[in-house]
Amino acid sequence: MTEGEMTRLRATLVRRDTLSRIARAIRLGDYLYLGKGEEASGGRHKPANLASTLEAVIAAIYLDHGSATTKDLILRLFDIELQKVASHEVEADYKSQLQELIQARQKQAPTYYEVKAVGPDHDKRFTVEVRVGDTVLGKGSGKSKKL
């Protein structure tokens, strides 16, 4: 397995949707203490909250019980995701696919530029361009810079 393949596999396992899916499966959201506003806005089910909570629980177990216990826990929690990765059911994310394609054809990496950010801090929308050299290949908008 190449370094690039291992990097993609690791990224697949630790991205927000994977972590939140695992947190949902073990009903981690049921144990969150939330403020009234966050509770009212569905915070118990938000992928970002679930993923962050799972990361925090894993870190706490590591600090309290060490690496062997944490490894066992991770292997149990991530079993289905690891099986997907091992059977290549998981494709690279679109950004990785774009980067690989451009590097193969043009021998240089694309760069990403934030061109606009609008809205209040709690509900900001970002517009990002992807460029190769001075050529704009595409533009996208969303609630995260990680378009």
Give the CATH number, domain containing residue 78.
1.10.1520.10
Q: Phi then psi for 21, rounded to 5 degrees?
A: -65, -45
Across the chain, which distance is largest between two alpha carbons, in Å? Answer: 52
DSSP state of 2: -
Query: Are 11 and 64 in a shared domain?
Result: yes
- Number of domains observed in the structure of the chain: 2
Q: What is the pLDDT of residue 21?
A: 93
Name the residue among 99, 101, 108, 98 with its Cα closest to residue 133. 108
Query: Are 80 and 112 in a shared domain?
Result: no
Query: Are 80 and 11 in a shared domain?
Result: yes
- What is the extent of the structural domain holding 75? 3-86
Query: pLDDT 10s digit of each residue in the chain, 147 long?
Result: 777 677 777 878 888 989 999 999 999 999 999 999 999 999 999 999 999 999 999 999 999 999 999 999 999 999 988 887 767 655 556 777 788 788 888 778 888 999 999 998 888 899 999 998 888 988 988 888 765
Name the residue among 50, 18, 19 with its Cα closest to residue 32. 50
Q: What is the pLDDT of residue 76?
A: 94
Give the CATH number, domain containing residue 117.
3.30.160.20
Q: What is the pLDDT of residue 52?
A: 96
CA 106 to chain centre: 27
